[in-house]
Structure 1
Amino acid sequence: MATAPRKTWQQDPQRRTIILRATLETIALHGVDGTTYRKIAQCAAIPLGSVTYYFPSMQALLLEAFSTLAHDAFTAFAATLNRAQDKMQARQAIVEIIFGEVTAGDKTNQLSYELYSYACRTPVMKQVMKNWMNQSRASLERHFSPLAAVALDALIEGMILHRSVIPVAQEDVYRMVVQLSEL
């Protein structure tokens, strides 16, 4: 008599990534304060126990999710700037960053607002933000002075937030970039 093969449990190798993506989706919908393990599990369509297995504390989960967001945003930022061969192209790259796909959309804006707010209240998250800003400025310094890099980084962040509320013309932003890039 043949017996059926015994089923064994197999871990989903993408489970951690799925949880992190679902966490960001949940934060975008409900904010940090409204994000719970249960909502994340529901968004990821996985058992609640899987979320707590991979992330025993909500702070660890939020830290890793926001760190992933910061890493992904910086990677896109750096890739856009790295394509620039000279100062003029770098200026245009900054405008592309401000108006590009990576920084557009309600979800991206909501996550940015939540990230800044959470970083203000969470010391370990401030370090993630500081690292992100230092990396961004270092990328900008490949084309501009350190002072200009600080000003341009602030312009980029500010314009992205402003654009979520008030339309701004690309030509106007380019003129701002040119002025600040001369510092």
Structure 2
Amino acid sequence: MPEPADGRLRKGERRRRALLEATLRLVGRHGAGAVTQRGVAAEARVPPSAVLYYFASVDELLLAALTTVHDRYVDRLAGVGTLAELVEVLREWSRQDLLLTVAEYELLLLAVRRPELTPQLRRWDDALEAAAVRLLPDAPERRPLLVAGVNGLCLAAVLGSPGDPSVLLRI
């Protein structure tokens, strides 16, 4: 998102992003239960009142954090044009700090039980299914394998046993 022109708005947007990043770090390290007004404020190094200034509730903050992490993954997935590129994206994700991926999985599990988060449940799968259509235009029967393979590789990375994404080239 482009920075607002007004200095106060820029500062506010930076603080909002800092709160979201702090939330994702907390969720990645300790789970969604660690997301409290004080916990997020301490992680972001801002006063506790800042959390509720930018987010009406901790639930709203969790929704914004899940949306933020999904935006990153979905945007990156949208730019993939070949299976080889998808393999490289998955390798890149497995090399990055896994806290982000762990946070995403934690928030997705939370979304199963929280109606305000459930629209995010389909977002990744919808994006992945769209990528499968784009990457395997002449093989609709193989698309579910690609979706399951990518999801399995991402989960394996979170669990500490990342597989080799090049197996997707054989789908």
Question: Shorter-chain TM-score: what band?
Answer: 0.7 to 0.9
**Distance across 2 between alignment mates of 1:167 and 1:139:** 21
More helix by share: 2
Say whether 1:165 aligns with 2:160: yes
| Contact 1:18-1:44 within 8 A present in 2 as well | yes
Larger Rg: 1
Instruction: Give the aligned partner of residue 30 of structure 1.
Output: 30
State which of 126, 130, 136 in structure 2 corresponds to 1:138: 130
Letter in 2 for 1:115: L
Deviations 1:61-85 (A, max 9, x none): 1001111100111112222x1xx3x
CA distance in 2: counterparts of 1:105 and 1:123, whole angstroms:
29
Offset, 1:98: 2.2
* Aligned counterpart, 2:118: 126
Sort the Cα spacing of 1:136 and 1:60 in 2 relative to 1 into closer, same or farther, 3 A.
Answer: same
Residues 146 and 126 (structure 1 numbering): CA distance in 2 closer, same or farther, change over 3 Å? Answer: farther
For 1:87-166, list aligned pairs within 5 A: 90-101=82-93, 104-144=96-136, 145-163=139-157, 164-166=159-161
Runs of 4+ with deviation above 6 angstroms: none
Instruction: Give the superposition deviation at 1:147.
Output: 4.2
Matched-pair contact (CA < 8 Å) for 1:137–1:146: no
Q: TM-score, normalised by structure 1?
A: 0.76
Aligned length in residues: 159
Compute the RMSD of aligned alpha carbons: 2.1
CA distance in 1, matches of 2:162, 2:60: 36
Task: Provide the identity percentage.
Answer: 26
| Alpha-carbon offset, residue 102 of structure 1 | 6.4
* Distance change >3 Å, CA 17–CA 116, structure 1 → 2: same
Structure 1 residues 146 and 18, CA, compared in 2 at 3 Å: closer, same or farther? farther
Q: TM-score, normalised by structure 2?
A: 0.81
Instruction: Note the C-alpha offset of 1:122.
Output: 1.5
Q: Within 5 Å, give how 1:71-82 maps onto structure 2.
A: 71-79=71-79, 81=80
What is the distance in 2 between the residues matched to 1:177 and 1:137? Answer: 14
Q: Which residue is equivalent to 1:5? A: none
In 2, the alpha carbon distance for the partners of 1:117 and 1:103 equals 23
Q: Contact 1:97 / 1:103 at 8 angstroms: preserved in 2?
A: no
Structure 1: state its 5+ residue gaps. Answer: 1-9, 85-89
